Amino acid sequence: MRTQKLIRVITMFCLLAGGTALVGCETNPYTGRRQLLMTSIGQEVQMGAQAYDQVKSDPKMRPSQDPREIEPVRRIAARIVEAAKRSKYAEMAQQFQWEVTVIKDDKTANAFALPGGKMAVYTGIFPMAKTEAGLAAVMGHEVVHALARHGAERMSQGQLTNTLLQVAGAAIGLSGGNPMLGQATMAALGVGAQVGVLLPFSRKHESEADYVGILLAADAGYDPRESIALWERMGQASGGGGQAEFLSTHPGHDTRIEQLKEWMPEAMAIYQKRTPMPPAPLPEIGGR
């Protein structure tokens, strides 16, 4: 009920605000969902770059030095980015300065992409993904969060909720050029205050990223059916008490799998038009 009220307020606010400089109301090109966006793309890119620098500068975050871990991630990232540049997000994807870092952390099953195209993959996701196609589903999902401006939308909704309709007079900015982001901004971008902890987006954001993510993976030449196998492993890890932080909530594993099955014919139609990438396994981790 609270979500529905917020959606109605956002819709009304978009109509009242019209084309003002401070408020933008856009429609997701894949799902037709209306989005309230109160930051410019330039602001988002700046915040994304600062969040990325903050992650990389944390002494606990150690980049991988192993080519067996780095090369497949870079290969997948490059193909997903090229697919994004052919997608309905092409204009946004062309503006981003893409970069990917492999973080050596075998106990953390995470990945993220920030506004501006800054990406990170933790080696702990490899056992869940199993293959390059599985990791392509993960990375496609995360790239969509950035391209669909989910972080900016979450910040905008937070402002609207906290300040009611007075938000029209406020603009999100970076205070004093401080390179350290506040907790609220980091949370909106999907990165927790404790670096390395990723926060779940809303149910609608997650479903949107699942849907468009497998389309990007398919267009990149990766078998989208691997996304279902990925989520089956996620469910098994959660049920067995294992640690599967990546996208561990909203919606549930079973719901996600059913949705992926519904979208699979569309993804397969795209995949069958591309030269398929071989089903290469990801490297084993641990013990090195």
Q: Among the options 132, 142, 208, 226, which is catalytic?
A: 142
Q: Is 44 a residue of the active site?
A: no
What is the CA 138 to chain-centroid distance, rounded? 9
What mean pLDDT is predicted for residues 260-282? 97
Q: Helix or strand or coil: residue 268?
A: helix
Over residues 145-204, the pLDDT tens digits come to: 999 999 888 887 766 655 544 433 444 454 444 444 555 555 555 555 444 444 556 788
Over residues 93-152, the pLDDT tens digits come to: 999 999 999 999 999 999 999 999 999 999 999 999 999 999 999 999 999 999 999 988
- Cα–Cα dist 49/47, whole Å: 5
Mean pLDDT of the chain: 81
- Cα–Cα dist 246/125, whole Å: 8
Helix axes 150-163, 132-147, angle to 10 degrees: 40
Give the pair of three-digit tokens for residue 268: 């397969």
- Cα–Cα dist 178/2, whole Å: 35
The whole-model pTM stands at: 0.79
The contacts of residue 143 (CB under 8 Å, 6+ apart) are 80, 81, 84, 113, 119, 213, 216
- Where exactly are the structural domains of the chain? 42-151+185-271
Measured CA to CA in angstroms, residue 59 lies from 118, 187, 282 at distances of 19, 20, 26
Q: Which ranges of the chain would DSSP assign to H, the alpha helix? A: 2-17, 41-57, 67-86, 90-95, 126-129, 132-147, 150-163, 183-189, 203-219, 226-239, 253-271
